[in-house]
């Protein structure tokens, strides 16, 4: 009964009052969503940079220690890739929306910020997964000295099958998780911001 009365009250309210209510609701919803994203992003940024800083010295040492040139090159490639990952994370951190700006400007900045994240996520397999995989493959090829072995010997090597199987599993898992993240984390938030921007235009 109360629900029906609220619906009737809503429907009988002037259009500008309905817009004002929708705007307030969307503003709170969008802000809450952006705050959650910011917290999650800070955590993953910290983990990503921290992990990369630990692994860079390790792979730099491997590049010095490993005798095989292919393995050395693979370790150097991974170290360079890790530096690139840190640089990307810091650039995204600096591009965070300015909360001191006007609300409309803040929303537009948030939209651009999310679209930047989304664009990077859509190309994750090329700039994030692939360089790492290439480095690992080169290290395995070098360490096992596969160029000096016959195809029959390579086929019988368990380490080759284990490595390539793991890379395929990790690659498929990363692809599927990334698709889910794009849909849940970016598309839904971008939709809320677009709806709010549209309402703000109507309210002018």
pLDDT digits (tens, 9 = 90+) for 3-42: 454 345 444 545 554 555 566 666 777 778 888 888 888 8
- Provide the residue ranges of all domains of the chain, joining segments of one domain with +: 16-202
Backbone phi, psi, residue 37, to 5°: -65, -40
Q: How many CB atoms lie within 10 A of CB 182?
A: 16
The answer to whether 192 and 26 are in contact (CB under 8 A) is yes
Go through 49-69 and write b for each residue having 16 or more CB atoms within 10 A of its CB, e for each that does not: beebeeebeebeebbeebebe
Q: What contacts 95, CB < 8 A, 6 or more positions away? A: 112, 113, 116
Query: pTM score, two decimals?
Result: 0.79
pLDDT digits (tens, 9 = 90+) for 135-174: 999 999 999 888 888 888 888 888 889 999 999 999 999 9
Rounded Cα gap, residues 17 and 1, in angstroms: 23
């Amino acid at each position: 009964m109360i629900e029906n009365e609220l619906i009737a009250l809503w429907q009988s309210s002037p259009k500008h009052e309905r817009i004002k209510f929708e705007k307030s609701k969307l503003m709170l919803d969008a802000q809450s969503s952006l705050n959650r994203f910011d917290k999650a992003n800070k955590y993953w940024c910290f983990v990503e940079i921290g992990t990369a800083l630990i692994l860079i010295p390790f792979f730099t040492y491997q590049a010095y220690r490993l005798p095989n040139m292919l393995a050395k090159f693979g370790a150097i490639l991974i170290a360079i890739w890790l530096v690139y990952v840190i640089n990307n994370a810091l650039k995204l951190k600096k591009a965070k929306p300015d909360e001191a700006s006007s609300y409309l400007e803040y929303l537009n900045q948030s939209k651009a910020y999310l679209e930047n994240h989304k664009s990077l996520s859509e190309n994750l397999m090329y700039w994030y997964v692939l360089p790492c995989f290439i480095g690992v493959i080169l290290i395995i090829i070098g360490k096992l000295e596969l160029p000096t072995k016959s195809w029959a010997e390579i086929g019988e090597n368990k380490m080759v099958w284990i490595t390539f199987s793991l890379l395929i599993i990790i690659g498929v898992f990363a692809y599927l998780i990334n698709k889910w993240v794009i849909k849940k984390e970016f598309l839904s938030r971008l939709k809320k911001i677009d709806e709010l921007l549209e309402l703000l235009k109507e309210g002018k």
